[in-house]
Amino acid sequence: MVEELGELVSVESPSADEQALSRSADAVAELGARHLGSRPERHGNHLVWRHGPTKVLLLGHHDTVWPLGTLARWPFTVTGGRATGPGCFDMKAGLVQLVHALATLTALDGITVVVNADEELGSPSSQGLIGDALRGATCALVLEPSAGGGALKIARKGIARYRLEVTGRAAHTGLDPEKGVNAAVELAHQTIAVAWLGAGDTTVTPTVLTAGTTTNTVPASGSLAVDVRAFEETEFARVDRALRALRPRVPGTRLEVHGKVHRPPLSPSSSAFLFQTAGDVAADLGQRRPEGAAVGGASDGNVTASLGVPTLDGLGAIGGNAHAEGEWVDLAAMPGRSTLLAALVTRLLRR
């Protein structure tokens, strides 16, 4: 498992690089073929293994957030029982665990595996593929990395993304600044207003802010990106109303708001039965019952849950520092997690 994890990590796969993703898809396809006995369907750089009509859908992704060239300064390394390297935790170790789990089963009938290549971008080109694979499924198991200490992810916030666009009027800052209408100043007002919309577990975060063209011109236009995360649909509706109710503060500017929910929340009700079953399976194996965690990040599990299919997430690797330099995997935990997944799939198929 360690050698295979090293193979996958050593093939870089940034989400926006199609050539790199193609090489990574080749590596994942080869790994799956060795353990599952068949090559996947290839949909661009997305991979699908089908074994009859879907009863249990297993989900993972092979793209990462790390740009090409990261591996040169941060190679795959094993030290003191930990592996580190770009993408090892999120989520190439989960892919290794997945194929090893399925390799122990006597039959794969009813199991469909989807490994997509754009999860870190919000799965824009693979959501349809996931929805198609989900038809007839009784549940979805997501091999994203675990929460702290190996906890399973029983709830996830949804994500909405917005863009505020401001139009003003350009003017020379030295000759006639009074003729200009400053879009940057308007955006400053709107950034502060947006930042106050979060409440409780709901976060509303201004992120990318741009305005202006040259240092001696009053900015004629600008934009602000806004990231919204919430556990409840009602919160998304509240924030949407508040954003669309914003009005310009600087006379002469025009404000437009664009955006929507991209991934609905994964609620605890979607995962409750599967979480209980996973705990029972772990106990039967002599393992400690995994804890459950609600997390702020979203995954393809949000998609499957929103389509009405019971979903359990975080069944992948134990480790830490996802999306951060130094992300790591607990190698000693990989066989146990793989065993848990195999036993859980077996029990769900019998049901």
Same-domain status, 25 and 143: yes
CATH number for the domain including 142? 3.40.630.10
Domain range for residue 48?
A: 2-157+265-350
Domain boundary among 229, 263, 297: 263
Same-domain status, 19 and 129: yes
Domain boundary among 263, 290, 307: 263
What would the pLDDT profile of 295-321 be if each residue is shown by its tens digit?
A: 999 999 999 999 999 999 999 999 999
Cα dist from 336 to 32, 157, 159, 245, 316, whole Å: 19, 28, 32, 51, 11
Amino acid 137: pLDDT: 98
Pairing state of beta strands 82-84 and 111-116?
A: unpaired
pTM, two decimal places: 0.91
Same-domain status, 162 and 137: no
- Whether the per-residue pLDDT at 351 is higher than 90: the answer is no
Domain boundary among 244, 263, 282: 263
Same-domain status, 143 and 170: no
Angle among Cα 114, 116, 121 to the nearest 5 degrees reads: 145
Same-domain status, 124 and 255: no
Angle among Cα 14, 70, 82 to the nearest 5 degrees reads: 100
Active-site positions read 63, 119
Q: Which amino acid is at 345?
A: V
What would the pLDDT profile of 121-160 be if each residue is shown by its tens digit?
A: 999 999 999 999 999 999 999 999 999 999 999 999 999 9
- Whether the per-residue pLDDT at 102 is higher than 90: the answer is yes
Amino acid 223: pLDDT: 98
What would the pLDDT profile of 3-60 be if each residue is shown by its tens digit?
A: 999 999 999 999 999 999 999 999 999 999 999 999 999 999 999 999 999 999 999 9
β partners of residue 223: 165, 210
Same-domain status, 224 and 286: no
Average pLDDT taken over every residue of the chain: 97
| Average pLDDT estimate for 167-183 | 98
CATH number for the domain including 180? 3.30.70.360
Count of helices and strands (H, E) across the chain: 10, 16
| Average pLDDT estimate for 242-268 | 97
Q: What percent of the chain has pLDDT over 70?
A: 100
Cα dist from 118 to 32, 126, 335, whole Å: 19, 7, 27
Tally of domains in the chain: 2
Instruction: Please state whether 17 falls in left (phi above 0), alpha (psi between -120 and 50) or beta.
Output: beta
What would the pLDDT profile of 272-301 be if each residue is shown by its tens digit?
A: 999 999 999 999 999 999 999 999 999 999
Same-domain status, 56 and 45: yes
Same-domain status, 223 and 106: no
Same-domain status, 23 and 145: yes
Question: Is-contact 192 180, C-beta < 8 A?
Answer: no
| Average pLDDT estimate for 73-85 | 97
- Whether the per-residue pLDDT at 83 is higher than 90: the answer is yes
Same-domain status, 236 and 304: no
In sequence order, what E strands does the chain have?
Answer: 41-43, 46-50, 56-61, 77-79, 82-84, 111-116, 139-142, 152-156, 158-167, 203-211, 221-230, 254-263, 292-295, 311-312, 319-320, 328-330
What would the pLDDT profile of 194-237 be if each residue is shown by its tens digit?
A: 999 999 999 999 999 999 999 999 999 999 999 999 999 999 99
Same-domain status, 123 and 245: no
